[in-house]
A and B are shown apart, each in its own frame.
Chain A
Amino acid sequence: MVMAASETKFHVLAVDDTLIDRKLIEKLLKTSSYQVTAVDSGTKALEFLGLNNNDHHDVEVNLIITDYCMPGMTGYDLLRKIKESSSFKDIPVVTMSSDNIPSRINRCLEDGAEEFFLKPVQLSDVNKLRPHLMKRRTQTNVNKRKSMDEIVSPDRARARYNELEVK
């Protein structure tokens, strides 16, 4: 399957209240060729998403990666809000934490998180994001291609017929 030249980079929204971790996750994501927007709270993340919807759908968010322990809205709260929203529920969400607490991890995964990364997050973790993003893009492309085929078919049939004649 050939990727069209106009295929844009995936856009990841990173949420973490710690400056160091924000800088790190941003670099990890950019190194993996993602476009990144980093915010320091769940509230700002929701604002960012909400603003886009009013703004001619210019910026699309393909994945959200969020820290768990944050003051105010936790990463879990953010996950729930996204999964409960009709506009955003299909955006894959990944949660991260420096604490290895199985009940916390399970709860996030059960409530819709695609992955749970233990901090510090490494490149090998970020590599796990691609399948979740590709799955969604493939689905979108399949839908696009189907509608394109419907338009193109009559011409294709004609070309085939012409080839036969030349032979």
Chain B
Amino acid sequence: MERNPMRRQLAIMRQSLFDQGHVDEQFVQLEELQDDANPNFVEEVVTLYYRDSARIILNIEQALERKPFDFRKLDAYMHQFKGSSSSIGAKKVKAESTLFREYCKSGNGEGCMRSFQQLKKEYATLRKKLGAYFQLARQAGPVETASRPK
């Protein structure tokens, strides 16, 4: 149980990320890799993800402006996006990318556009929530880990 109020708030925020389905087990895996040598590992990986995602989203937007849709190309872009979303545990975003890919495979242009709008929404929400979370984490300071019995 966290005695420090900031740490408590952080724990609540973290739990809600999971409860609301924004992140999954993979996010925990990232947290477990964070250590004294890499105290900001999770945030670093997520920052790389944002950079990568910005590029891919732009590519998809441009591809969706060209008619007829190149579904193969759209699918390839989304395959990349799904991969990196999966690597950071971005659950909702990953689910939406899967849906987009299914629309690509069935050549459903309308479906792709709808799905892409939804995906951008989910992605924006994730960024907002993670942004607030990491900001509080930085303010709260490093966690004192219990020393393991030798």
Question: A and B, one complex?
Answer: yes
* A21, A24, A98, A123 interface centre (most CB from chain B within 10 Å): A24
Given A28-B33, A120-B29, CB of A23 within 8 Å of CB of B83: no
CB distance from A96 to the nearest CB of B (A): 11
Name the one of A24, A31, A69, A123 contacting B87, with C-beta atoms under 8 angstroms.
A24
B80 touches A20 (CB 8 A): no
Tell me, yes or no, whether A27 is within 8 Å of chain B by CB.
Answer: yes
Name the one of A18, A19, A98, A123 contacting B29, with C-beta atoms under 8 angstroms.
A123
Closest to A31 in B: B33
A119 touches B87 (CB 8 A): yes
B45 touches A20 (CB 8 A): yes
Q: Measured between alpha carbons, how far is A23 from B34 in the docked complex, in Å?
A: 12
Residues 81-119 of chain A, each 1 if its beta carbon lies under 8 Å from chain B, else 0: 000000000000000001000000000000000000001
Closest to A21 in B: B87
Q: Which B residues lie within 8 Å of A31 (CB)?
A: 33, 35
Tell me, yes or no, whether B70 is within 8 Å of chain A by CB.
Answer: no
B26 touches A120 (CB 8 A): yes
Tell me, yes or no, whether B102 is within 8 Å of chain A by CB.
Answer: no
Tell me, yes or no, whether B134 is within 8 Å of chain A by CB.
Answer: no
Q: Which B residues lie within 8 Å of A27 (CB)?
A: 33, 38, 41
Interface size range of chain B in the complex: 20 to 34
CB distance from A48 to the nearest CB of B (A): 23
Mostly helix, strand, loop or mixed at chain B's interface? helix
Q: Measured between alpha carbons, how far is A28 from B29 in the docked complex, in Å?
A: 10
Given A27-B33, A27-B41, A120-B29, CB of A21 within 8 Å of CB of B52: no
B83 touches A24 (CB 8 A): no
Q: Which A residues lie within 8 Å of B32 (CB)?
A: 123
* A20, A21, A122 interface centre (most CB from chain B within 10 Å): A20
A120 touches B38 (CB 8 A): no
B52 touches A20 (CB 8 A): yes
Q: Which A residues lie within 8 Å of B87 (CB)?
A: 18, 20-21, 24, 119-120
Q: Which B residues lie within 8 Å of A21 (CB)?
A: 83-84, 87
Residues 38-61 of chain B, each 1 if its beta carbon lies under 8 Å from chain A, else 0: 100100110011001000000000
Q: Measured between alpha carbons, how far is A158 from B59 in the docked complex, in Å?
A: 77
Q: Measured between alpha carbons, how far is A84 from B29 in the docked complex, in Å?
A: 36
Q: Which A residues lie within 8 Å of B82 (CB)?
A: 98
Q: Can you report 16 residue pairs joining A to B where beta carbons are below 8 Å apart?
A: A18-B87, A20-B45, A21-B84, A24-B30, A24-B87, A28-B33, A31-B33, A98-B79, A98-B86, A119-B83, A119-B87, A120-B89, A122-B29, A123-B29, A123-B32, A123-B33
